[in-house]
């Protein structure tokens, strides 16, 4: 085995959506192989958040100008301001710690990683991990009726900056192709490395017995949707699908949709949440599991990077239905 490395993985927070969870898994995997790992975060972890296991060290970037933004972020979502404001603090971390590699782990922190890396002026290689499909994101904003010119310019400019990194990793082949096209990066500079999803922790959870009234013998089939309440995950499409079973007897379909984030804003032509009585479905904060009897998993997303929850469902033997969305699962 080669000599252990000092690795810094940069992300907004230790908890949240799939990119955050996979980053924590990566950090723990690197540490298990003998590397020294720092998980560098913009938002300090709260007391109830799931953190990576030791010996991974969690480093929260700090500076006087970040504290009022963090206080504001606890009331309203100002991640778009808080993240770039942390670039000087990231530069200070890089100058102080001198890791062997800086891995920017998700699309929403890459510009900040590049700014901090350039400000630091230290010989630390920067690796960017394209965690989602930038091309599909851009096309979605173009169709949405939002202030598209500014957003398109920001997304395209942000992606073009990725070419200055030492290496780019994509989580699937579809993301690699779209990143190369949008960012103008030669395809040979992008390496596809699938997210770590199926591991001992998942298999252990899948083997645990389930005791939930909706999964007992004689219960009707259970349809499960999991994801953050964002427009990308497109739960309105799932809700419209449920509306087609309104003629079924009461209790014929249930949906414990998993909430892993704040509800999305109302968008033109869309309803962020189902109206009361519109579908024969019930929403619960947490699903009981992924491998129960009579269980089907549905992924209605508009676009995906590498949908970890879909892979988890398949690994647990759960029948799954997915929209044909770019870049995955269509072109994984």
Of residues 320, 36, 21, the one with CA closest to residue 199? 21
Res. 149: pLDDT tops 70: no
Res. 255: pLDDT tops 80: no
Instruction: Kindly tell me the burial class for residue 90, based on how many C-beta atoms sit within 10 Å of its own C-beta (0-12, 13-18, 19 or more).
Output: buried
List, in sequence order, every beta strand (DSSP E) within 20-131. 36-41, 57-60, 101-104, 126-130
Query: What whole-number distance in Å separates Cα of residue 106 and Cα of residue 10?
Result: 8
Which DSSP letter does residue 215 get?
G
Q: How many Cβ atoms are within 10 Å of 249's Cβ, its own excluded?
A: 9
Res. 274: pLDDT tops 50: no
- Residue 213 has φ and ψ, to the nearest 5°, of -60, -25
Q: Please give the pLDDT value at position 147.
A: 43
Highest mean pLDDT among 153-157, 240-244, 263-267: 240-244
Highest mean pLDDT among 28-37, 175-184, 318-327: 28-37
Domains and CATH numbers, the chain: 6-192 (3.40.50.2000), 200-322 (no CATH)
pLDDT in tens, 65-79: 998 988 888 888 888
Report the mean per-residue pLDDT for the chain. Answer: 78
Q: Please give the pLDDT value at position 265.
A: 41
Q: Please give the pLDDT value at position 1.
A: 56
Q: Please give the pLDDT value at position 264.
A: 40
Distances (CA, A) of 231 to 21, 53, 102, 298: 20, 32, 30, 16
Of residues 245, 262, 260, the one with CA closest to residue 296? 245
Res. 291: pLDDT tops 60: no
Buried b (16+ CB within 10 A) or exposed e, 283-311: eeeebbbbbbeebebbbbbbbbbbbbbbb
State the average pLDDT over residues 303-327.
85
CB contact at 8 A, 177 and 187: yes
Asked which of 37-41, 45-49, 55-59 is least confident by mean pLDDT, the reply is 45-49
- Residue 38 has φ and ψ, to the nearest 5°, of -110, 130
Query: What whole-number distance in Å separates Cα of residue 249 and Cα of residue 244?
Result: 12
Q: Please give the pLDDT value at position 272.
A: 37
Of residues 98, 91, 92, 89, the one with CA closest to residue 62? 89
Q: Please give the pLDDT value at position 247.
A: 58
State the average pLDDT over residues 115-142.
82
Res. 307: pLDDT tops 80: yes
Query: What whole-number distance in Å separates Cα of residue 125 and Cα of residue 227?
Result: 33
Of residues 193, 167, 161, 191, the one with CA closest to residue 22? 193
Q: Please give the pLDDT value at position 257.
A: 46
Asked which of 55-69, 138-152, 184-198, 226-240 is least confident by mean pLDDT, the reply is 138-152
């Amino acid at each position: 085995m080669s000599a252990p490395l000092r690795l810094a993985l940069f992300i907004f927070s230790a908890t949240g959506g799939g990119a955050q969870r996979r980053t924590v898994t990566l950090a723990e995997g690197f540490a298990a192989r003998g590397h020294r790992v720092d998980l560098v975060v913009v938002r300090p972890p709260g007391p109830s958040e799931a953190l990576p296991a030791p010996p991974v060290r969690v480093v929260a970037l700090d500076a006087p100008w970040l504290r009022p933004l963090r206080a504001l972020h606890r009331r309203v979502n100002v991640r778009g301001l808080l993240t770039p404001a942390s670039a000087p603090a990231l530069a200070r971390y890089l100058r102080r710690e001198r890791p062997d590699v800086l891995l920017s782990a998700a699309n929403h922190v890459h510009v900040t990683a590049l700014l901090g890396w350039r400000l630091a002026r230290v010989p630390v290689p920067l690796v960017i991990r394209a965690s989602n499909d930038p091309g599909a994101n851009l096309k979605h904003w173009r169709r949405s009726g939002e202030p598209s010119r500014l957003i398109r310019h920001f997304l395209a400019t942000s992606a073009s900056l990725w070419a200055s990194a030492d290496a780019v990793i994509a989580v699937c082949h579809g993301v690699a192709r779209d990143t190369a096209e949008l960012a103008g990066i030669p395809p040979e500079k992008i390496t596809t490395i699938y997210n770590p999803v199926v591991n001992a922790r998942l298999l252990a959870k899948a083997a645990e017995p389930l005791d939930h009234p909706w999964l007992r013998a004689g219960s009707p089939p259970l349809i499960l949707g999991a994801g953050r309440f964002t427009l990308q995950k497109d739960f309105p499409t799932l809700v419209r699908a449920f509306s087609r079973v309104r003629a079924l007897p009461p209790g014929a379909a249930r949906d414990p949709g998993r909430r892993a984030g704040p509800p999305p804003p109302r968008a033109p032509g869309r309803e962020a949440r189902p109206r009361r009585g519109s579908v024969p479905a019930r929403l619960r904060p947490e699903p009981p599991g992924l491998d129960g009897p009579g269980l089907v998993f549905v992924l209605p997303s508009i676009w995906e990077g590498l949908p970890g929850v879909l892979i988890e469902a398949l690994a647990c033997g759960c029948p799954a239905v997915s929209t044909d969305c770019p870049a995955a699962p269509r072109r994984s």
